[in-house]
Structure 1
Amino acid sequence: MNVDVPAGKDPIAYVWGEMVPGIGPAAADFSLAVYAHTTLALREFEAARLRIAQINGCLFCLDWRTERDGHKVEEGFADAVARWRTTDALDGRARLAAEYAERYALDHHGLDEEFWERMTAHYSQAEIVELTMSLGSWLAFGRLNRVLGLDALCVLPGHG
């Protein structure tokens, strides 16, 4: 880990809550709001989230699967997301969500008119804004956890 955490303190709670009390809790609230208030379908939400996790390399984010009403994406979905260009496992919206995530994280200046034409053909403006805010959350906080070494401390039990 790349920050000092006092003995007996939970590293996640300490870093996100105690170290920067004016920022950390607000960041955590934003991160949680992305999951609690999304209107996006599970597969497109997870396609975008997983593509950011793959780019960030956040161990916890790679291990996590969002659950809604007792449903999660199928086994192997993360592999399909990594192959978003060529897989048949993603529909148009999920493929576009994975593409947007990758381009948002790696080439946001390259989001050209052709891309936006495809995006607006599949997503409403409100959905685009929601997806963009979600991508920002995942990119920032997944990288924060990875860079500080917190991601290795919050890997799901049994998946270390």
Structure 2
Amino acid sequence: MRVDVPEGKDAIEYVWGEMIPGIGVAASRFSLAVYSHTTLGLREFEAARLRIAQINGCAFCLDWRTERDGVKVEDDFAESVTRWRTSDALDERTRLAAEYAERYALDHHGLDEEFWTRMSAHYQQREIVELSMCLGSWLSFGRLNRVLGLDTACHLPSSGGRSPAGRPDGPSADPGRPDGPSADSARPDGLTADPGRPDGLTADPGRPVGTSPRSEPESRPLR
């Protein structure tokens, strides 16, 4: 591990929640949002996530399997994702999700019109944007955990351990809710709409953008 974690501290919670709470907590909300608010099917979601995990080499992300209503992908699904070009276990949407993930991570300049024609034939524009945001989260935070050695500090599901907030990328930022959104029910990042700003967002006066609107600051994320 590349970070000195005090004895008795959980590595993930310490790094994400205590070392840089102004950034880490906001980042964890983003990592949670792609699980809590996705509209993508489980197979294309997992195909994209696992291909990024394979490229990043994040041990925890590779071991993790997203579960929805008690359903997970089959045990050999990750191998099919590795062989996305030739595997007959993937339908076209799932194959494209794996391809997009790989090219997003390794060759985003090479995403040409031929690829976008195929992608647009199977995904709506809203789904493409959503998948792109998911890929951004997995690539960034999975790689962060891998580079800092946090992926091996996580307790992996297969070894009987727990996962931070039930998600592979980061811990929950809100002890009041299990899925991690802020106290602002209208927006998971705690921001409100502001037509006067170019980005359409504003934060409470005197409060940094992305921090919780609660009266007491959040110093650490919870499981």
TM-score (norm: length of structure 1): 0.98
CA offsets 1:81-110 (integer angstroms, 9 cap, x no match): 000000000000000000000000000000
2:49 counterpart of 1:49 = yes
Structure 1: 5+ residue stretches without partners: none
Partner Cα distance (1:83, 1:37) in 2: 28
In structure 2, do the counterparts of structure 1 residues 40 and 157 end up closer, same or farther at CA, with 3 Å as the change threshold? closer
TM-score (norm: length of structure 2): 0.70
1:24 counterpart residue number: 24
Deviation at 1:159, TM superposition (A): 3.7
Matches within 5 A, 1:7-18: 7-18=7-18
Deviation at 1:158, TM superposition (A): 4.1
Is the Cα contact below 8 Å between 1:52 and 1:139 reproduced in 2?
yes
1:86 counterpart residue number: 86
2:136 counterpart residue number: 136
Q: Which one has more relative contact order, counting CA pairs under 8 Å at least 6 apart?
A: 1
Matches within 5 A, 1:1-160: 1-159=1-159
Partner Cα distance (1:19, 1:2) in 2: 13
Partner Cα distance (1:11, 1:102) in 2: 29
Deviation at 1:156, TM superposition (A): 1.1
Count of residue pairs the alignment pairs up: 160
Structure 2: 5+ residue stretches without partners: 161-223
Partner Cα distance (2:37, 2:47) in 1: 17
Deviation at 1:76, TM superposition (A): 0.1
Is the Cα contact below 8 Å between 1:65 and 1:73 reproduced in 2?
yes
Q: CA RMSD in A?
A: 1.0
Larger Rg computed on CA atoms: 2
Q: Percent identical across equivalent pairs?
A: 80
Q: 4+ residue runs of structure 1 moved beyond 4 angstroms?
A: none
Is the Cα contact below 8 Å between 1:48 and 1:97 reproduced in 2?
yes
Name the aligned partner's letter for residue 102 of structure 1.
E
Partner Cα distance (1:159, 1:49) in 2: 21
Is the Cα contact below 8 Å between 2:49 and 2:138 reproduced in 1?
yes
